[in-house]
Structure 1
Amino acid sequence: MTTSMTAKQNGRLTLALGIALLVMGAAGWAASVRADEPAKELTDEERSNLEKQAKELKQQAFPLYRDVNYTAANELLEKSLEIYRRLYPAAKYPDGHLDFAQSLEIQGILLQKLGEYGRAESLYREALEMRKRLYPESKYPDGHPDLVQSRDLLAAMLRARGQFDKAEPLYRDAIEMSRKLYPAAKYPNGHPDLALNLSNLGAMLLRRGEYGKAELLLCEALDIRKRLYPPDKYPDGHPSLAGDLNNLGALLDARGEYGRAELFYYEALRMRRRLYPADKYPDGHPDLATSLDNLGVLMQKRGNFRH
C-alpha cells in the first residue's frame, strides 16, 4: 500500500488550501467592515487589493462549480459579492458597476443550481436593474448584450419555477432587443444570441402547449443556426443546432404528427452521434441520451418496437 500523493491529489490539496486562505481573508475583512460601519474611505492600495481578492475568489469558485461542488463554490462567491458591495456602494456608485453586476448574476446562477430560487431571483433582478442604469436607453437606444443576458437569465429562472406569465415578457423583451442589436442588414446569417432568445421562448411556449406560437419561434431559431453552422464549416453539426432539431421534434410529437417528429428526432440523433462519438465520450452524453429516449418513446407510440 502506498501513501504517496499523485500530482492530481497534490494539486487538489493546494487548491483547497488556497481556497481556505482566501475565504479566511475575505471573512476577516467582512467582519472588520461590519464592525466599523459606516465603512471608511478605501485607499487606492486597499481598493486594488480588494478587487484582486474578489476576482481570485471567483476564479477559485469556477473549478468547484465544474465539479458540481455547488455549496463550496457558493461560499466563495458570497464572499466575493460582499467585497463588490463594499467596493461599489450605492452612495458613490448610484449606477452600480459592471463587475458588480456580473458577480450578482454568477451568484444567482449558483443559487439557482442549489434550488434557492427566491434568493437567485432577487440577485437576478438586482443585476438587471443595475444594468438598466449602466446602459440607459438615452445612450444605448438599441440596448446592450448585457441587458439581453440579464433578461434571459431572469426569465429562465422564472420558467424553471413554472412562472411562465412572468417569464414571457422578459423573453420577448430580450428578443426585441436582440433584433435591434443584430439587424438582418448587418447580420444576414443572424446571431447566436438572437437564436438563443428565440429558442428559449419557443421551448417555454412548447411546455405551455402553445404549439403554433412555439413553432414559429423554433423554426426561426433553427433557420438562423443552420446559417451560422453550415455543414461545410461544421461537418459534425453543432450542439445548439441539434437542440433546435430535437425541440421541433418534440413539438410535432406533442401535436401527434409522429411522422414529421421522427424525421427531426432522427436528424438530431445523427448529429449528436457525430458530436459525441464513443471514442471521445465512452460514458455517453446527456444530449445523446435525450435523443435516444425521445425517439424510443415515439417508436412505442407508433407501435414500432423493432427499432
Structure 2
Amino acid sequence: MKKQLLGSSHPSVAMSLNNLALLYDYQGRYTEAELLFIEALEMAKQLLGSSHPSVATSLNNLAALYHSQGRYTEAELLFIEALEMIKQLLGSSHPDFATSLNNLANLYRSQGRYTEAELLFIEALEMIKQLLGSSHPDFAKSLHNLALLYHYQERYTEAEPLYKESLEMIKQLLGSSHPDFAKSLNNLALLYRSQGRYTEAELLFIEALEMIKQLLGSSHPDFAMSLNNLALLYRSQGRYTEAEPLYKESLEMTKQLLGSSHPDVAMSLNNLALLYDYQGRYTEAEPLYLEALKICMQLLGKEHPNTQTTWGNYLYFLQQVLNENRQEELSDERSLQIISDMEKSSLENS
C-alpha cells in the first residue's frame, strides 16, 4: 500500500522493506531477507545519500543477517563500514556508535576472536555508562554481552557476577515480568549447568519457562527454546526419560513456528539425536543427525560453528557405531561409507 501511495522511491517504502526483511530474517527465510535488505539499502543510498544514519542502520541489518548465516567476512566488512559511518556522522560519543561496537564485538565472539571482542565490549560498556548512565537498559544489555563472552571462554567466576548484575538491573528497570528478564534467567541457568550446579539451574530454567509461557504464550520460539534448555539440563543429568518429551515438544513447536528449514530446527534435531546417541538408540539418531546437517549446510554453510558442531557430533556417533560393531543398525549410504573409511584408516594406522 505504501508503495502505491508514495511511489517505489520513498524513505517510508525503504523502511517497510527493511521491516519485512527483519521478519524474514527472524523466520530463517534468509534468501528473501537478503534481497529485501539489499533493496532497502540501495533505496536509502539513492534517496538519502551514501552517508546517512539510515544507510548505516541498513548496513548493520544486512551485516547481522550475514552474521546469523555464518558469513563472517561479509558481515565484518559491513559492520566496520557502518561503524565508521556512524563515527563520522554522529561522533564516537553517541549511543548508536556504542551499539555498533557491540554488534562487531558479538561477531568476533561468534568467531572465537575473544580478545578483540572483549576490548570492544568493554569500550561499548564504558561509553554507554558515560552517555546513558549505569541505570539504563542498554547498560544492562552490555553487561549481559560481556557476561556471555566470559561464559563462552569458561571464565565462569567473572561471568556470574555480570549476569547477576544485569539480571537485577533488568528487574529494576523493566520489572520481573518482562521477556528480557526471562532470557537473563535462562542464560544464568545455562551458566549454572556448565558448572554442574544442576539444582540451581533447574529452578531458574523452570522459572524462566513459566514466565515466558505467561508473557508470550506456549506457542512462541522463546518458549520452545526454554523447553530445549530444560531438556539439555535433564540430558546432562542422565534424566533421559524426562528430557525426551521436552526435546520433541520443542522440535515440533519450532517447526510449526519457524518452518522445517530453520537453524533452530537443526539445533533441536541435533539435540534429540544426541539424546538417542547417548542411549545407544542409533537407528533413531542417524536420520536426525543427517537432517540437522542438511539444514545447517544449506542455510549456514560448512564453516559455520553450528555446522561444525553437528558434523563433529555425527562423526563421533559413527565412530561409536564402528567401535560397537553395530553398522547393521544404520541405513544411510553416506554413514556406512564414512564408517568404512574409518575402518580402513584404523587398519592402516595399526
Q: What TM-score do you get using the length of structure 2 for normalisation? A: 0.60
Letter of the 2:228 partner, please give it.
S
Higher helix share: 2
Deviation sequence 1:216-242 (CA, Å, 0-9, x none): 321211221232244xxx4xx333223
1:176 aligns with 2:213: no
Moved more, 155-164 or 169-178: 155-164
Letter of the 1:68 partner, please give it.
G
- Trace 1:50-199 onto structure 2 (pairs within 5 A): 51-89=95-133, 96-137=135-176, 143-184=177-218, 190-199=219-228
Three-state SS of the structure 1 residue aligned to 2:253 is helix
Which of 240, 243, 267 is 1:211 aligned to?
240
Match of 2:271 in 1: 247
- Supply the distance in 2 between the matched residues of 1:226 and 1:278 (Cα, whole angstroms): 15
Which of 314, 324, 335 is 1:291 aligned to?
314
Letter of the 2:264 partner, please give it.
S
Deviation at 1:124, TM superposition (A): 0.6
Structure 2, unmatched stretches of 5+, are 1-72, 329-334, 337-350
Letter of the 2:114 partner, please give it.
Y
- Supply the distance in 2 between the matched residues of 1:85 and 1:288 (Cα, whole angstroms): 42
Match of 1:303 in 2: 326
Three-state SS of the structure 1 residue aligned to 2:93 is helix
Moved more, 80-89 or 100-109: 80-89
Match of 2:331 in 1: none
Deviation at 1:280, TM superposition (A): 5.1
Deviation at 1:85, TM superposition (A): 3.1
Structure 1, unmatched stretches of 5+, are 1-7, 23-44, 91-95, 138-142, 185-189
> 1:117–1:304: structure 2 CA closer, same or farther, 3 Å change rule?
same
> 1:59–1:240: structure 2 CA closer, same or farther, 3 Å change rule?
closer
Q: Larger relative CO (CA 8 A, sep 6+): 1 or 2?
A: 2
- Supply the distance in 1 between the matched residues of 2:250 and 2:143 (Cα, whole angstroms): 29
- Number of paired residues? 247
The CA RMSD over aligned residues, in Å, is 3.5
Deviation at 1:59, TM superposition (A): 4.1
- Supply the distance in 1 between the matched residues of 2:141 and 2:300 (Cα, whole angstroms): 37
Deviation at 1:290, TM superposition (A): 1.8
Letter of the 1:276 partner, please give it.
M
- Supply the distance in 2 between the matched residues of 1:238 and 1:177 (Cα, whole angstroms): 25
> 1:299–1:194: structure 2 CA closer, same or farther, 3 Å change rule?
farther
Contact kept? 1:269, 1:288, Cα under 8 Å: no
Letter of the 2:239 partner, please give it.
E
Contact kept? 1:221, 1:244, Cα under 8 Å: yes
Deviation sequence 1:234-292 (CA, Å, 0-9, x none): 4xx33322332332233334334x2xx42243233134135415995389931233223
Moved more, 278-287 or 209-218: 278-287
Contact kept? 2:289, 2:314, Cα under 8 Å: yes
Aligned identity (percent) is: 30
Three-state SS of the structure 2 residue aligned to 1:162 is coil
Deviation sequence 1:75-124 (CA, Å, 0-9, x none): 2221322233344556xxxxx21101110111111122333211111111
Contact kept? 2:277, 2:285, Cα under 8 Å: no
Q: What TM-score do you get using the length of structure 1 for normalisation? A: 0.68
Letter of the 1:122 partner, please give it.
P
